[in-house]
Amino acid sequence: MTEWKRSHKCGDLNKEDKGSNVVLVGWAARVRDHGGVVFISLRDRWGVTQVVVNPDNKDYNTAKSLHMESVIGVKGRVALRPEGQINKNMKTGEIEVIADEIVVLNPADPLPLMIAEESDASEELRLTYRYLDLRRPQMQKNIILRHKAAQIVRRFFDDNEFLEIETPYLMKSTPEGARDYLVPSRNHPGKFYALPQSPQTYKQILMIASFDRYFQIVRCFRDEDLRADRQPEFTQIDVEMSFIDENDIIDVVERLMQRLFKEAINKDLKIPFPRIDYNTAMEQYGSDAPDIRFDLKLDDLSDLVRGSDFGIFKSTIEAGGAVKGIYVPEMEGISRKNTDEITEFVSKYGAKGVITIQKREGEIVSPVKKYVGQELLQQIWNSFEAKESGVVFIIAAGKQVCNVSLGALRKKIAKDLDLIPQNEFALTWVVDFPLFEYDEDEGRFVAMHHPFTSPKLEDIDKLGSEPEKVMARAYDLVLNGTEIAGGSIRNYRSDVQEKLFEALGMDEETIKYKFGFLVEALKYGAPPHGGIAFGFDRLIAIMAGEDSIRNVIPFPKTTSAYSLMDGAPSEVDENQLKELGIMAAKQE
């Protein structure tokens, strides 16, 4: 093997190397057999180099019979390509290696999927043969970007006196929030560890331990259903600081983002990022993660239609709901079929339907014209400062449903009509969140962020009396309509923390059992502190221009949480279960 130690990597050589004797190793990406001369595109992580094998070569037949993706070694001499044969699309396109000797280090069987820039293989196959999928240049690029980003993040925090400190993966289960992944304890049959949903409590404890500035690039686990942007295990950039307020965190994060985007993908970000309060985000964008790259803002028509006899408007207003709309100037018009599609789309979010208004030859056109009346429709049209064309979409529903469904429609239309500027990175802070939201199923208030978030100081008195009015010292960072980070200033006084737990419906005993250690720790000199955590996978996916975080995670799970390559999860030996004191319930 040592004689096949490479002298260069496949992306190294250029015309300066003319005449050098080289040894290259890599994968035979393509073999082009011309009957006489044979060309091999030799690929490794760093690039592709063309190898030329002439008929007088002793290994000529080896070259002719190469299978795609076999691992080979080549000894040869660097030569300039003949006139007119330069490949401008290749970094090494000016040269080629004239082979003296070729050896197959490991032949490859026919492949279950092609190694191509644009994979046309199904995701199922890509995940089953992930090692082949990961050879694709696109995937290599994503994984390399991920590495780069992680290093930049580490350098940034190190430069700013943050300490990278590890926290346990085996921790206490706290059933607040997401479902825990449980790990049985062999030493204590019937007892379980949980894998962390995030290192939240540990990083707070580290602040109490006076480390002052902490960060960690850390795996987190949540046993919930999957999505394009949600995996059961995912990576956070976790950050916590002491003796700071919201603006200190925001400042650190803005400088981090600026440096990350510059150094990783050479994009200049303007700081500070704009801030929008939660309420405005919901009212204007119908989302707590507003995509500000395009307009189409939601307009409240409730006051305008208040006097209307039109049943849908009337009943909605009377029930305390909202009538809101968006105006899409770019839309030529809308057919019955499109309206049906949109109705179906918004119904997923609980809206009963959508009302359209458009103008045709100067005439207001709407399916509800005869019920609503020309005059009101015209007023609505005018309220949008609508031109002679375009379409207005109106949804009447309870406030939350109205905002969320119209917000979703806003995004869908922008996407369908291609109104979203590509290759643009729009970061915005969402601030002024409520501390609690009411959970209908549980019949109690739950923490909107998490139960360690500090209320705004002026709202502490309302914790017991009017929890719905308490605002949180929390902040989210949104990139192109996706939440990529969220954090808060924490409760550092045990009395406030206990009051908050009580507002969440926990009695003293429950508090002590679940979070007693934290409440106690707060009593021994806990500094004011706060922090933030990034969804690293989401951040990298957006930077890489990928729609799914699966494309920036080397070994992701499928939508049903399978690992197709290794077949996890799987059944285990009866003996393993016995040792753990576990019995699997029989499946129906």
Partner RNA sequence: GGGGUCGUAGUUCAACCUGGUUAGAGCACCGGCCUGUCACGCCGGAAGUUGCGGGUUCGAGCCCCGUCGACCCCGCCA
**Contacts with RNA in 428-457 (CB under 7 A)?**
441, 446-451
91 in contact with RNA (CB under 7 A): no
d(CA 309, CA 132): 64
Complex with RNA: residue 494 or 558, whichever CB lies closer? 558
- What does 472-518 look like in DSSP terms, one character per residue? BSEEEEEETTEEEEEEEEBP-SHHHHHHHHHHTT--HHHHHHHHHHH
Nearest distance from C-beta of residue 224 to RNA, angstroms: 4
Q: Using CB under 7 A, which of 6, 9, 67, 297 touches RNA? A: 67
Complex with RNA: residue 82 or 525, whichever CB lies closer? 82
d(CA 351, CA 406): 9
Q: Using CB under 7 A, which of 191, 227, 275, 415 touches RNA? A: 227
222 in contact with RNA (CB under 7 A): yes
Complex with RNA: residue 276 or 541, whichever CB lies closer? 541
Site for RNA in 251-270 (CB under 7 A): none
Only one of the segments 86-94, 243-251, 318-326, 489-497 lies at the binding site for RNA (rule: CB under 7 A); that segment is 86-94
d(CA 387, CA 304): 19
Site for RNA in 43-62 (CB under 7 A): 50, 52, 54-55
Complex with RNA: residue 76 or 321, whichever CB lies closer? 76
Complex with RNA: residue 313 or 349, whichever CB lies closer? 349
Residue whose token pair is 């699997």: 584
Nearest distance from C-beta of residue 315 to RNA, angstroms: 23
Q: Using CB under 7 A, which of 422, 423, 560, 570 touches RNA? A: 560
β-strand 322-328 against 213-221: which pairing, if any? unpaired
554 in contact with RNA (CB under 7 A): no
Complex with RNA: residue 99 or 264, whichever CB lies closer? 99
Nearest distance from C-beta of residue 364 to RNA, angstroms: 32
Tokens of 300: 């409240």
Nearest distance from C-beta of residue 141 to RNA, angstroms: 18
Residue whose token pair is 């993908």: 265
Site for RNA in 190-209 (CB under 7 A): 197-198, 200
Task: Let me know: does 468 contact 436? Beta carbons within 8 Å.
Answer: yes
Task: Let me know: does 278 contact 434? Beta carbons within 8 Å.
Answer: yes
Complex with RNA: residue 50 or 216, whichever CB lies closer? 50
- What does 181-230 look like in DSSP terms, one character per residue? PEEE-SSSTT-EEE--S-SHHHHHHHHHTT--EEEEEEEEE--S--BTTB
100 in contact with RNA (CB under 7 A): no
Which one, of 239, 254, 222, lies nearest residue 165 by Cα?
A: 239
512 in contact with RNA (CB under 7 A): no
d(CA 304, CA 61): 82
Complex with RNA: residue 118 or 318, whichever CB lies closer? 118
Nearest distance from C-beta of residue 562 to RNA, angstroms: 4
Q: Using CB under 7 A, which of 93, 137, 329, 398 touches RNA? A: 93
SS3 letters for 507-539?
Answer: CHHHHHHHHHHHHHHCCCCCCCEEEEEEEHHHH
182 in contact with RNA (CB under 7 A): no
Site for RNA in 327-356 (CB under 7 A): 348-349
Task: Let me know: does 406 contact 286? Beta carbons within 8 Å.
Answer: yes
Complex with RNA: residue 83 or 363, whichever CB lies closer? 83
19 in contact with RNA (CB under 7 A): no
408 in contact with RNA (CB under 7 A): yes
d(CA 153, CA 431): 24
Site for RNA in 149-178 (CB under 7 A): 174, 176-178
Site for RNA in 102-131 (CB under 7 A): 110-114, 120-125, 127
41 in contact with RNA (CB under 7 A): yes
Nearest distance from C-beta of residue 225 to RNA, angstroms: 3
- What does 119-184 look like in DSSP terms, one character per residue? --S-HHHHHHTHHHHTTSHHHHHHHHHHHHHHHHHHHHHHHTT-EE----SSB----SSSPPPEEE
Displacement of CA 44 from its chain's centroid (Å) = 29
Residue whose token pair is 């005449």: 19
550 in contact with RNA (CB under 7 A): yes
Task: Let me know: does 556 contact 550? Beta carbons within 8 Å.
Answer: yes
Complex with RNA: residue 119 or 383, whichever CB lies closer? 119
Q: Using CB under 7 A, which of 18, 45, 147, 224 touches RNA? A: 224
